[in-house]
């Protein structure tokens, strides 16, 4: 039963989306028309990314990269390709994200590009490739590394996959204050969700519930239906493990959100969980 629960919990852990935005240079008076067009396209892409319109963001970043390349601005082109990769990954196009991230050669973007390649490989189930890339990141993500929160969170995910629950919990908990300081709230929610699953696996249902509710609060603020459903499913699992009758209400919330958002696969998972409650 523990093995079955572990598989089920793993299905509730969303990929880390790594949506931290690379800065768009400010416009200055007298800029050439083409440079202004590239900057405006990139700014529009950033807005689409923040709003969760990932297909539009990917298209706009691709256009911004093309415009930048046409001016021989290699740094801006690389920045936009990496952002396009993030948008592709966020909409489930892991192969496209991997291909784009592998094209990024700018030395200033090495760490975020490697992080995204780790994430894309995990999304594709290529655990060994992800681990190899993460090992390359280890000497690059020390105390001064701006992306160290994302690095720790990915390390936590790999520890979880390897069955090292305690290491997964420790790394995810260590990532949270760093990600919060960087205002990476989506990744904070991902970290809390992993902490909740790890605590539940370790039998700490009270701590698991606190962590899952922290993730839910953020995901509701961000208005992300799929994550909200997964949070409620995880809360239902925690309550069921604790023998609480409120588990049924949590699964019902998960199903109602999933149905309203058109997330049929998650609605089916919630229905199956409810059937388990009825037995």
Over the stretch 209-251, which tens digit does the pLDDT of each residue have? 999 999 999 999 999 999 999 999 999 999 999 999 999 999 9
pLDDT tens-place string over residues 83-112: 999 999 999 999 999 999 999 989 999 999
In total, how many domains does the chain have? 1
- Does residue 272 lie within any of the structural domains? yes
Q: How confident is the model at residue 9 (pLDDT cuts 50, 70, 90)?
A: low
DSSP the chain: -HHHHHHHHHHT-PPP---PPPPPPPP-TT--HHHHHHHHHHHHHHHHHHTT-HHHHHHHHHHHHHHHHHTT-HHHHHHHHHHHHHHHHHTT-HHHHHHHHHT---GGGHHHHHHHHHHHHHHTT-HHHHHHHHHHHGGG-STT-TTHHHHHHHHHHHHHHTT-HHHHHHHHHHHHHHHHHTT-HHHHHHHHHHHHHHHHHTT-HHHHHHHHHHHHHHHHHTT-HHHHHHHHHHHHHHHHHTT-TTHHHHHHHHHHHHHHHT-HHHHHHHHHHHHHHH-
- Does residue 27 lie within any of the structural domains? no
Task: Look up the domain containing 255 and give its range.
Answer: 224-279
- Does residue 274 lie within any of the structural domains? yes
- Does residue 279 lie within any of the structural domains? yes
Q: Supply the pLDDT for residue 8.
A: 53
Q: Supply the pLDDT for residue 10.
A: 47
- Does residue 247 lie within any of the structural domains? yes
- Does residue 261 lie within any of the structural domains? yes
Q: Supply the pLDDT for residue 276.
A: 81
| For residue 28, pLDDT beyond 70 | no
Q: Lowest mean pLDDT: which of 18-27, 47-56, 204-213? A: 18-27
Q: Model's pTM, two decimal places?
A: 0.84
- Does residue 128 lie within any of the structural domains? no
Q: Supply the pLDDT for residue 1.
A: 44
- Does residue 249 lie within any of the structural domains? yes
């Amino acid at each position: 039963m523990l093995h079955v629960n572990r598989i089920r919990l793993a299905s509730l852990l969303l990929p880390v989306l790594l949506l931290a935005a690379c800065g768009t240079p400010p416009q200055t008076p007298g800029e050439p028309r083409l440079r202004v067009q590239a900057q405006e396209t990139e700014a529009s892409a950033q807005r689409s990314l923040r709003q969760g319109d990932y297909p539009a963001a990917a298209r706009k970043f691709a256009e911004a990269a093309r415009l930048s390349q046409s001016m021989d601005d290699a740094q801006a082109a690389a920045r936009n390709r990496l952002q396009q990769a993030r948008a592709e990954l966020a909409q489930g196009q892991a192969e496209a994200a991997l291909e784009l991230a592998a094209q990024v050669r700018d030395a200033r973007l090495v760490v975020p590009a490697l992080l995204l390649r780790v994430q894309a490989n995990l999304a594709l189930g290529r655990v060994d490739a992800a681990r190899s890339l993460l090992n390359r990141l280890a000497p690059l993500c020390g105390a001064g590394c701006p992306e160290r929160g994302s690095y720790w969170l990915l390390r936590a995910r790999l520890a979880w996959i390897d069955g090292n629950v305690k290491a997964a919990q420790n790394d995810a908990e260590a990532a949270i204050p760093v990600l919060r300081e960087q205002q990476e709230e989506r990744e904070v929610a991902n970290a809390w969700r992993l902490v909740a699953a790890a605590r539940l696996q370790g039998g700490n249902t009270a701590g698991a519930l606190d962590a899952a509710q922290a993730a839910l609060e953020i995901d509701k603020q961000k208005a992300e239906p799929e994550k909200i459903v997964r949070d409620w499913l995880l809360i239902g699992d925690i309550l069921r493990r604790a023998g609480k009758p409120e588990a049924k209400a949590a699964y019902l919330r998960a199903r109602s959100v999933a149905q309203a958002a058109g997330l049929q696969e998650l609605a089916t998972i919630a229905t199956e969980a409810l059937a388990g409650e009825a037995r």
